[in-house]
């Protein structure tokens, strides 16, 4: 938490007015949703499936290096599309309005070891409701890292650059463990909780299926290309994991992003909720291809304001949202991917050490706003 509250200049009325202006942006998109949007997601899903089929087909011949390269690249992109633009966004209910039972948050399952329903709870419900609230939003460091000065330092944090690197490589397993709240639940008393056991079993089943598919069935189907297909799938999963980890780190970790104290969200109004999402998220700038490959999470600020708007609309929404940032004199944290990734990693390194200065307790945001 920064010592100076960057929203201190706003009055309570201004914050509510900001909320109304954001509601208007949301209503406009909802009123305009239609055929083109539906065609978009269907096209992306169909393209992803074709790309995966072709890539897996090419990998049957991965004993030949060019086929290995081509197939691995294609499979990596297909897996990224599945998780980012398709899975993440469908599981947010962004496409529920189409009433297509096959493209719906209640039925979708993704190429990921964390079962969709568990991820929806930890991500949609906990992270999106309590964005960047210390103690409520486990995404702040995923329970293994310290990403804000206000979080207590522990010698364990000395290793956090390493933890973060390992987490990046095996990100989907990290997410599964995180969704299970493994750290908390492995304590003796909780281990036997039937609800936790059922969820752990579901994760186990999902892992078994995913591993069997990627590391047994497809390599076996490749016959003489068994080992090269195995290596290709491992590489594709690694690429997908590192990519999604990087994109997701850019959402809330770069310098300039605010975190909040638990008590600051007591009796939070709609306007204040919006403001917290605005100050607690960061974007990635770049080309259309870049936005697509991040699943439009490059528009993290817009996504956090409107998590259920179709992802293909975030780009146009971003223009209006940015104008509101300017109008209300707030900092819109954004930058190209390398810069944002660097900024997030620098924070991981910096906070692996205890704070240089003694911890300064910052005034409660809420109280300051009321006072203003």
Partner 1 sequence: MTSAALRSRAWKLLEMVTTPLLPSDYLDLVSPLRAGADLRGRIEAVHPETDDAATVVIRPGRGWRGHTAGQYVRIGVDVDGVRLWRAYSLTSPTNRQDGRVTITVKAIPDGKVSNHLVRRAKPGTLIQLDQATGDFVLPQAKPVKVLYLTAGSGITPVMGMLRDTEFDDVVMVHCAPRPQDVIFRNELHDLVADKKLRLTEVHTATDGMLDIARLDELVPDWAERETWACGPAGLLDAAEEHWSKHGVQERLHTERFRPSIAVAGDGGEVTFSATGKTVDADGATPLLDIGEEAGVLMPSGCRMGICFGCVTPLRGGAVRDLRTGEITEAEPGVLIQTCVSAAAGPCDIER
Give contact residues for partner 1 (rule: CB under 8 A): 23, 27, 30, 33-39, 46, 49-50, 53, 92-93, 96-102, 104-106, 109-111, 120-121, 124-125, 128-129, 206, 209-210, 212-213, 217-218, 221, 273, 307-308
Q: Which of 231, 331, 209 is nearest to 280 (CA)?
A: 331
- Phi-psi group of 296: left, alpha or beta (phi > 0 → left; psi -120 to 50 → alpha; rest → beta): left
In sequence order, the 6+-apart residues with CB closer than 8 A to the CB of 59 are 67, 68, 71, 72, 75, 218, 222, 225, 228, 229, 232, 233
Residue (118 or 151) nearer to partner 1, CB: 118
Least distance in angstroms from the C-beta of 129 to partner 1? 4
Give me the least distance between CB of 309 and partner 1, in Å please: 11
In the complex, what is the shortest distance from the CB of residue 135 to partner 1, in angstroms, rounded to a whole number? 17
**Do 96 and 105 contact (CB within 8 A), yes or no?**
yes
Shortest Å, Cβ 24 to partner 1: 11
SS3 226: helix
Q: Report the residue number, 101 or 155, with the smaller CB distance to partner 1.
A: 101
- For 266, phi and psi rounded to 5 degrees? -65, 130
Nearer residue to partner 1 within complex by CB, 92 or 347: 92
- Smallest gap from residue 93 Cβ to partner 1 (A): 3
Question: Least distance to partner 1 from the beta carbon of 128, Å?
Answer: 5
Nearest-approach distance from CB 35 to partner 1, in angstroms: 5
Instruction: Tell me how far apart the alpha carbons of residues 140 and 177 are, in angstroms, rounded to a whole number.
Output: 15
Closest to partner 1 by CB, 56 vs 157, is: 56
CB-hemisphere CA count at 13 Å for 271? 17
Helices (H), 128-170: 128-129, 160-169
| Cβ proximity to partner 1, 79 vs 365, nearer residue | 79
Cβ atoms of residues 110 and 83 within 8 Å: yes
Rank residues 160 and 312 by Cβ distance to partner 1 and give the closer one: 312
Choice between 191 and 208, CB closer to partner 1: 208
Rounded-to-integer distance, Cα 283 and Cα 347, Å: 17
Residue 279 CB, nearest approach to partner 1 (Å): 17
Cβ-based neighbours of 178, under 8 Å, separated by 6 or more: 122, 138, 142, 143
Closest C-alpha among 169, 148, 167 to residue 159: 167
Contacts 24+ apart (CB under 8 A), 188-194: none
The nearer residue to partner 1, 308 or 364, going by C-beta atoms, is 308
């Amino acid at each position: 938490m920064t010592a100076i509250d960057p929203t201190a200049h706003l009055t309570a009325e201004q914050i509510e007015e900001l909320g109304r202006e954001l509601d208007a942006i949301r209503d406009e998109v909802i009123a305009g949703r239609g055929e083109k949007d539906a065609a978009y997601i269907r096209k992306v899903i169909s393209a992803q499936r074709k790309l995966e089929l072709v890539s897996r087909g090419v990998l049957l011949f991965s004993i030949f290096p060019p086929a290995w390269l081509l197939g691995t690249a294609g499979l990596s992109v297909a897996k990224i599309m599945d998780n980012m633009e398709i899975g993440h966004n469908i599981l947010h209910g962004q496409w529920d309005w189409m009433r297509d039972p096959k493209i719906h948050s209640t039925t979708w399952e993704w190429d990921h070891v964390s079962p969709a329903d568990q991820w929806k709870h930890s991500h949609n419900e906990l992270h999106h409701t309590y964005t960047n609230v210390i103690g409520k939003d486990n995404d702040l460091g995923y329970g293994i890292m310290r990403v804000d000065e206000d979080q207590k330092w522990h010698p364990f944090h000395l290793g956090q650059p390493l933890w973060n690197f390992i987490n990046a490589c095996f990100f989907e397993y990290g997410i599964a463990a995180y969704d299970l709240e493994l750290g908390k639940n492995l304590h003796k008393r909780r281990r036997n909780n039937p609800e936790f056991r059922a969820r752990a079993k579901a994760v186990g089943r999902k892992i078994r299926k995913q591993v069997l598919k990627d590391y047994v069935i497809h390599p076996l189907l490749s016959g003489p290309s068994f080992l090269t297909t195995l290596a290709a799938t491992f590489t594709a999963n690694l690429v997908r994991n590192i990519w999604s980890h990087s994109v997701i780190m850019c959402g809330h970790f770069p310098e300039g992003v605010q975190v909040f104290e638990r008590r600051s969200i007591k009796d939070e109004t709609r306007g204040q909720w919006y403001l917290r999402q605005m100050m607690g998220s960061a974007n990635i700038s770049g080309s259309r291809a870049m936005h697509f490959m991040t699943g439009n999470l490059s528009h993290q600020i817009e996504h956090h304001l409107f998590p259920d708007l179709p992802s293909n609309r975030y780009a146009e929404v971003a223009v209006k949202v940015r104008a509101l940032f300017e109008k209300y004199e707030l900092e819109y944290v954004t930058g190209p991917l390398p810069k944002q990734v660097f900024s997030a990693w620098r924070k991981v390194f910096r906070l692996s050490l205890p704070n240089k200065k003694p911890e300064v307790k910052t005034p409660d945001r809420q109280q300051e706003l009321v006072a203003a």
